Every structure is written in structure tokens, then in C-alpha cells.
Structure 1
């Protein structure tokens, strides 16, 4: 294929983020291999990618048919199918042990010249690299939800990331039609650290009765031109995910990132945001479809 994006790209994990990453590389012209844990998850990933592609075609972002684009997509339950991939992006849950096991499994099957990236939004890329045999071929590619509509990808470099990869990764992002922001590995990188700080303060304001969730979000949208308010964005990301990030930032950066009691209580009640139908706002069952 033309350009520098590898001809075959693997994605480990076909959830909302993984499906979006697969969609992005398909539109960039790559053949994409998605690996999930079981056949039910494979079908769910396939459905998500098909919906993303159909929406892109409807918007005029690409020509042809869904079937034409998915002719370059394959799905599997076996990481051995990554053997031909020039790049694999890991997109499994934000749990350290899960990430490490997943990355090590992928690395066992990756060709010697292949690149490996993690989509982590907060975990230490350098720490993850330290668990791998070839850390110089590993970096962070932090995509944003929803991937098809987002224009940003954080390229996260560890001290042991090789210079060749440091040069290539931002160019891959550009070929996806997105803008790379290059950051050195640090807790929360740039985007999660700032985004979580704003979201936690917004939650404290709700907790203290300063204003309603709707009015706080409107203040940020109308006064600061944020396209989405911090509370609606937290619902989109998932309050459980944001809680995990906040706890990690509290451990690494100190008490200013301590999660509010309101956030902990909402997660304990299963009020996780869009995916559960209720968070700071209420959503219809179809709100998170695709």
C-alpha cells in the first residue's frame, strides 16, 4: 500500500476503542487483524467496526461499500494471527497485569521487524516497556473516544523507545488523518492528566452543590469552547475507567488527584455513564451502540 502505515496492522481487543482503531487503519488502507478473547467478542467487534464504517461512508469520509472495506478485515481469537503484522496496537482494559500479559503474548508472535504500541490512557509506557524483550520497538499510541470522530492521538515515548519508532509513529498518525501530540512518558501523559483534573473538580462541584451537572458542563462548553463538558465526557469514557486513572494519578502525583466520594459511590452503584445508561446524565439503551 502507499504511504508508511504498515500493510498489515493488528489490534488486540475489539471493544469500543479497539474497533475504532481498527476502523482508522482500515480507512488508511491497511489490512487489519483484530484478535479478541472468544467468538462472542469477535462477533461484537465485527458489528462495531461495520457500524463505524457504515457511518463513515454515510458522512462521505470514504467511498465504496462496507463490504469492500471489510474485505481487508479479519478477526480471530489467536494472537498467532499477528505474525504478519508490521504493527500491533494493544487495546485491552486499563489493568496493569492484563496489559502486561497481553503485550507479552503479542510480542511472542510478532515478527522481528514488527512494532508494538499500547493504547493506554494513563499507565506508564516505560514501565510496560520494561516487561518486554524489545522495548525499543514499543511506544504509546493513545487514541481518543470516539476514535472515528477524534482528531487527536497522543504519541507517548519512553526513554527506551528507539529513534526510528519515535520518528515513524507521528507519521502513522498523520496518515490516519489525525494530529499527533508527542509527549514523554509521565503519569497521565498530557491529555489524561489535564482532562481528569478538570473532571474531578467538576465532580467535586456537583458533590458540594455548587451547580448542576448540566450547568457545569454548559459553563465549560460556552465559556471555554469545550465541545463536550467534563461530566458528559466522563460518562462517555466510563466513570469506572476514570476512577482507575484518578487512583493511579493519586498514587503517582499526590492527593490533588484523589477521587471524590461521589465518584466512588456512583461506580459502586453501577452508574458508569453511557455504557450503563446512567452516570451524571441518563442515556437511552442505544446511546452507546457503535
Structure 2
């Protein structure tokens, strides 16, 4: 797999595109508008500039990686791709429509269509794509250029060959560490992480302590690198809510249900770091 497409140039999509391009692969990022495409280009270049400043890459590699990335707005540009990773909004209706359209666009029978979803059933995406055996979840973590883990999620209809190709691609080509998870909402990491984050939000909502003290307690008391409310801001409060809703719909466990404060913050546009304000101001 040498020609890669990424749908979505947000925090996750741009990070995935950078990882793929740094692995030496031809990369196309699809965004919804020219304005969004420009923002995606700036986001990718900014990340590469930070890598340069930290000595992770040199000027020559920065130029080479930038040259491998094209940002476009037409899904038809994905037609010749060997692998397309969808990293669009965590909304089931949006993802289903994208998989329906891209499944019809891909020219190569062996091309794989993957989703970076955190919680939406992979089997549903495969059912609308017209290539159910070549659809699976490939869940990166933020920031993708730094985080080593990638969850691989085959559905009931994903072929063993597709899973094997993705295991080799992630470990050998991208240099990441894959783990395999079943096609259940939340997979491995979010099934453990999201209830913890929602519990911290409920604690803050109930007035147990300030956001800063809750986070300080978990950093200094449990050795976590980041507190749960700061981490929620980093992930995006809309994403946290969407994952919680999806997990609650599947399992009906109260601990997965988003608390009212989270609903209100998302409705108010207080989404965390990406909007400039969440539990903290940025």
C-alpha cells in the first residue's frame, strides 16, 4: 500500500496524514472546503515545524514530507488509493454517507477502506461500502505522530487477509504498535478511558473540587501524565460526548451516559482546546 488517502484534516486526520507521509507514502487529505483545506495544510506544517524544532526531523525531511501531502476537496481524488482512512466527524450519519460514496469511488478491488472512529460499529460501515471484507477500524491516538498505539478492529465481515495487511502496514510501514479489538463500541482503550473521564466531569459538576485540583490529584496522586479534565479538553468534549452516547446506546450502562454539564458545554460550543475553551481557557 503506497497511495494513501485520509478523509478529514482535523486534529486526528492531519496527524494521520503526517504519520503516513513521514513513512514515505504518497498522501491525499480530503477536506470539505477550500478554507478547511487551508487550515489542514497549516496544521500539518505547524506540526512538522515543531518536529523540526525538537530535532525529530531535519530541513530536508520536512521538505520531503510536505511534498508527499496533497490537500484536496473532491472525494474523486481518492479513486486510485490503496488505503483510505476516514477521520471525519464522530457522527454515524456522516461516516455512513462517506463510506457509501468512497466505496463506489475506489478503483482497486483490493483497496482497503478504514475508519478512525472511536465507537461507531465497523460492521455498519462495511455494509454500506460495497466491500465489507475490505473495511475495518484503524484507530490512532492523539497526537498521532507521537502516540505509538493503533487499535485494529475487524468486523464480522472483515477478511483475515485485510486484517493481516493492516497489521503489517501499521507495524512495518508506520512503525506503530497495533493491538486487535473486537467490534464493540469503545474498543479497548475508550471502554476504559471514557467512563473515567465522564466520572471526572460528574465530580466537577457536583462541586467536589475545582477542575485544576481534580487534575492535580490524578497527576500527582496516581502518576498520570495529564488530568482527566485537561485530557477531555485535548480530545474534544464533543468527541467525548459522542463516544459516551454510542457506548451507552450499545450497552445501556449508566457510567457511559454523558452528564448534563457535558451536554451543556458542547451545546454552548465549549469543546476544549480546539475551540479555545472547555474546562480551561486556551
SS of structure 1 residue aligned to 2:117: coil
Structure-2 separation of matches of 1:55 and 1:220: 28
User: Are residues 1:55 and 2:54 paired?
Assistant: no
Cα deviation per residue 1:27-66 (whole Å; 9 max; x = unaligned)? 1110101111221122111111111222223323233243
SS of structure 2 residue aligned to 1:131: helix
Structure-2 separation of matches of 1:116 and 1:100: 12
Structure-2 separation of matches of 1:54 and 1:171: 29
TM-score, normalised to structure 2, is: 0.93
**Unpaired stretches in structure 1, ≥5 consecutive residues:** 1-5, 284-290
Do the aligned residues in 2 keep the contact of 1:246 with 1:259 (CA within 8 Å)?
A: yes
Aligned residues: 278
- Aligned with residue 205 of structure 1, among 198, 203, 206: 203
Aligned to 1:116: 113
Following TM superposition, by how much is the alpha carbon of 1:257 offset from its aligned partner in structure 2, in angstroms? 1.4
Following TM superposition, by how much is the alpha carbon of 1:90 offset from its aligned partner in structure 2, in angstroms? 0.6
**Unpaired stretches in structure 2, ≥5 consecutive residues:** none
Aligned to 1:102: 98
Cα deviation per residue 1:235-270 (whole Å; 9 max; x = unaligned)? 111112211211121211112212112212222332
SS of structure 2 residue aligned to 1:140: strand
Aligned to 1:256: 255
Structure-1 separation of matches of 2:185 and 2:152: 14
Following TM superposition, by how much is the alpha carbon of 1:222 offset from its aligned partner in structure 2, in angstroms? 2.5
User: Are residues 1:33 and 2:32 paired?
Assistant: no
Structure-2 separation of matches of 1:184 and 1:120: 13
Structure-1 separation of matches of 2:17 and 2:89: 16
SS of structure 1 residue aligned to 2:28: strand
Structure-1 separation of matches of 2:166 and 2:206: 43
Aligned to 1:171: 168
Cα deviation per residue 1:125-159 (whole Å; 9 max; x = unaligned)? 11211222111101101111221221211111111
Do the aligned residues in 2 keep the contact of 1:195 with 1:230 (CA within 8 Å)?
A: no
- Aligned with residue 240 of structure 1, among 216, 226, 238: 238
TM-score, normalised to structure 1, is: 0.91
Structure-2 separation of matches of 1:193 and 1:269: 26
Structure-2 separation of matches of 1:101 and 1:265: 28
Aligned to 1:79: 75
Structure-2 separation of matches of 1:267 and 1:79: 29
Following TM superposition, by how much is the alpha carbon of 1:233 offset from its aligned partner in structure 2, in angstroms? 0.9
Q: Name whichever of 190-199 and 258-267 sits farther off.
A: 258-267
Q: Name whichever of 58-67 and 81-90 sits farther off.
A: 58-67
User: Are residues 1:66 and 2:65 paired?
Assistant: no
- Counting only pairs closer than 5 Å after superposition, residues 131-170 of structure 1 correspond to structure 2 as 131-170=128-167
